[in-house]
Structure 1
Amino acid sequence: MLVWITLLLLLFIFQAATILICEYKRPAKSIAWLSILFIFPIIGFFMYYFIARDYARRKKVHANNSDNANNSTLQSVLYNDSIDAKKGEDSSFLLGEERLRDWLRQVPHSPITGMNRVDVLTNADVTYEAMLEAIGKAQDHIHFEFYTIRDDAIGRRFQDALIAKAKAGVAVRVIYDGVGSHALSKAYITSLKRAGIAVEPFLKPLIAFFEKRLNYRNHRKIVVVDGLVGFVGGINIGNEYVGGNPKLGFWRDTHVMLHGDAVYDLQRTFLKDWFFVSGESLGEKRYYPAHSEQEPSFVQVISSGPDARWDAIQEMYFAGLIAAKKRIWITTPYFIPDPSITMALKSAAISGVDVRIILPFKADSAIVQYASKSYLKELLQVGVRFYLYRKGFIHAKVIIVDEIMSTVGTANVDMRSFFSNFELNAVMFDRHVISRLESDFLMDLEDCTEVTLTEFELRSPGEKRKERIARLLSPLF
Structure 2
Amino acid sequence: MKIFIAALCLFIVQIMIILFLEHRCPQRAVVWIFLSFCCPPLGLLIYYFLGRDYRQSRKVKARAAETRRGLHNYAAERSRLITRAKDTGNLELSGCEDLLRLLNRLSESPVTGRNASRILLNADEAYESMLEAMESASEHIHLEVYIFRDDGIGERFQDVMIRKARQGVKVRLLCDGLGSHKLGRRFLRPLTGAGVETHFFLPMLASLFGRRINYRNHRKILVVDGLVGFTGGINIGDEYLGKDPKMGFWRDTHLRLEGDAVYFIQNVFLKDWRLVSGERLSHPRLFPVHTCEGREGVQMISSGPDGEIDANEAMIFGAICAAESRVWIASPYFIPDPAILRALKNAVLRGADVRIMIPAKPDSALVYNASLSYVDHLLEAGVKFYRYRKGFMHAKVWIADGLLASVGSVNMDMRSFYSDFELSAVLLHPQRIEELAGQFRRDLEDCEAIDPGVFRNRGKLARAKEEICSVLSPLL
Task: Report deviation, 1:90.
Answer: 2.4
Matched, 1:90 2:110: no
Alignment deviations for residues 276-301 of structure 1 (CA, whole Å, 9 cap, x no partner):
11111010110000111121100000
Counterpart in 2 of 1:385?
384
Amino acid at match of 1:288: F
Alignment of 1:39-58 (within 5 A): 39-58=38-57
Residue 238 of structure 2: aligned partner: 239
Letter in 2 for 1:19: I
What CA distance in whole angstroms lies between the structure 1 residues aligned with 2:328 and 2:75? 35
Q: How far is 1:108 from its partner?
A: 3.3
Alignment match, 1:219: 218
2:56 aligned with 1:81, yes or no? Answer: no
What is residue 466 of structure 1 aligned with on the other side? 465
Q: Deviations over 1:386-428 (max 9, x none)?
A: 0000000000000001011000000100000000000000000
1:56 touches 1:306 (CA, 8 Å); kept in 2?
Answer: yes
Kept in 2, the 8 Å contact 1:70–1:281? The answer is: no
| TM-fit CA distance, 1:78 | 2.3
- 1:386–1:408 distance in 2 versus 1, CA, 3 Å: same
CA apart distance, 1:8: 2.3
CA distance in 2 between counterparts of 1:393 and 1:84 reads: 37
- Which residues of structure 1 form unaligned runs of 5+? none
Contact in 1 for aligned 2:75/2:267 (Cα 8 Å): no
Matching residue of 1:346: 345
Match of 2:152 in 1: 153
Map 1:125-136 → 2, pairs under 5 A = 125-136=124-135
- Offset of residue 6 of structure 1: 2.8
Question: Does 2:399 match 1:400?
Answer: yes
Secondary structure of the equivalent of 1:374?
helix
Q: Per-residue deviation at 1:91?
A: 7.3
Q: Distance in 1 between matches of 2:88 and 2:8?
A: 64
Q: Which moved more, 1:35-44 or 1:88-97?
A: 88-97
- Structure-2 residue corresponding to 1:305: 304
User: Contact conserved, 1:143 with 1:270, CA < 8 A, in 2?
Assistant: yes
Unaligned runs of 5+ in 2: none
Indicate how the Cα distance of structure 1 residues 321 and 73 shifts in structure 2: closer, same or farther if over 3 A, else same. Answer: closer
**Conserved? CA contact 1:82–1:111, under 8 Å:** no
- Please identify, of 39-48 and 89-98, the stretch whose mean Cα deviation from structure 2 is larger: 89-98
Distance 2:45 2:327 in 1: 41
What SS is found at the alignment partner of 1:117? strand
Counterpart position of 1:295: 294
For residues 369-393 of structure 1, give each alpha carbon's deviation from its aligned partner in whole angstroms, at most 9, with x where no partner exists: 0000001122111110000000000
- The match for 1:71 is 69
> Per the alignment, do residues 164 and 339 of structure 1 end up closer, same or farther by CA in structure 2, a change over 3 Å counting?
same
- Give the drift of 1:79: 4.3
CA contact (8 A) 1:305 1:420 kept: yes
Match of 2:195 in 1: 196
Residues 1:14 and 2:13 are matched in the alignment: yes
2:168 corresponds in structure 1 to 169
SS at the partner of 2:454?
Answer: helix
Please tell me whether the aligned partners of residues 88 and 429 of structure 2 are also in contact (alpha carbons under 8 angstroms).
no
Mark the CA change 1:79 to 1:325 in structure 2 (over 3 Å): closer, same or farther.
farther
Distance 1:457 1:122, change over 3 A: same
Deviations for 1:418-439, whole angstroms, at most 9, x for unmatched residues?
Answer: 0000000000000111111011
Q: Partner amino acid for 1:194?
A: G
Deviation larger for 181-190 or 265-274: 181-190
The residue type paired with residue 451 of structure 1 is: I
- What is the alpha-carbon distance in structure 2 between the residues aligned to residue 273 and residue 470 of structure 1? 32
Structure 1 CA distance, aligned partners of 2:28 and 2:354?
A: 27
Q: CA offset at residue 174 of structure 1?
A: 0.5
Query: Secondary structure at the residue paired with 1:227?
Result: coil
Confirm or deny that 1:436 pairs with 2:435: yes
Cα RMSD, aligned residues only: 1.4
The Cα shift of 1:52 comes to 2.0
How has the CA–CA distance of structure 1 residues 130 and 92 changed in structure 2, closer, same or farther, with 3 Å as cutoff? closer
What are the Cα deviations for residues 80-137 of structure 1, in whole angstroms up to 9, with x where unaligned? 523248x997274520001111111112311101000000000000000000000000
Q: Is the 8 A contact 1:146 1:237 kept in 2?
A: yes
- Say which SS state the counterpart of residue 313 (structure 1) adopts: helix
Instruction: Tell me which amino acid in the other structure corresponds to 1:169.
Output: G
The sequence identity of aligned pairs, in percent, is 48
Separation in structure 2 between the aligned mates of residue 77 and residue 38 of structure 1, nearest angstrom? 49
Shift of 1:217: 0.1
For residues 15 and 213 of structure 2, what CA distance do their matches in structure 1 show?
21
CA–CA distance in structure 1, aligned partners of residues 427 and 410 of structure 2: 15
Q: CA deviation at 1:63?
A: 2.5
Cα shift at 1:17: 1.1
2:166 and 2:475 map into 1 onto residues whose CA distance is 43
Return closer, same or farther for 1:373/1:130 CA change in 2, 3 Å cut-off.
Answer: same
**TM-score, structure 1 as length reference:** 0.97
CA shift at 1:74, angstroms?
3.4
Hey, what does 2:366 align to over in structure 1? Answer: 367
**Mapped contact 2:78–2:289 kept (Cα < 8 A):** no
Deviation of 1:64 after TM superposition, in Å, equals 2.4
* TM superposition shift of 1:72: 3.3
Number of equivalences: 474
Alignment TM-score, normalising by the size of structure 2 = 0.97
Contact 1:74 1:283 in 2 (8 A): no
One-letter amino acid of the structure 1 residue matched with residue 139 of structure 2: D
> Any conservation in 2 of the 1:331–1:359 contact (CA below 8 Å)?
yes
Distance 1:140 1:91, change over 3 A: closer
CA deviation vs aligned residue, 1:311-338 (integer Å, no higher than 9, x gap):
0000000000000010000000000000
Query: SS at 1:303's partner residue?
Result: strand
Change (3 A) 1:22 1:299: same
For residues 118-159 of structure 1, what are the alpha-carbon distances to aligned partners after superposition, in whole Å with 9 as ceiling and x for unaligned? 000000000000000000000000000000000000110100
Aligned to 1:112, the other structure's residue is in SS state coil
In structure 1, C-alpha distance between the alignment counterparts of 2:184 and 2:376, rounded to whole Å: 43
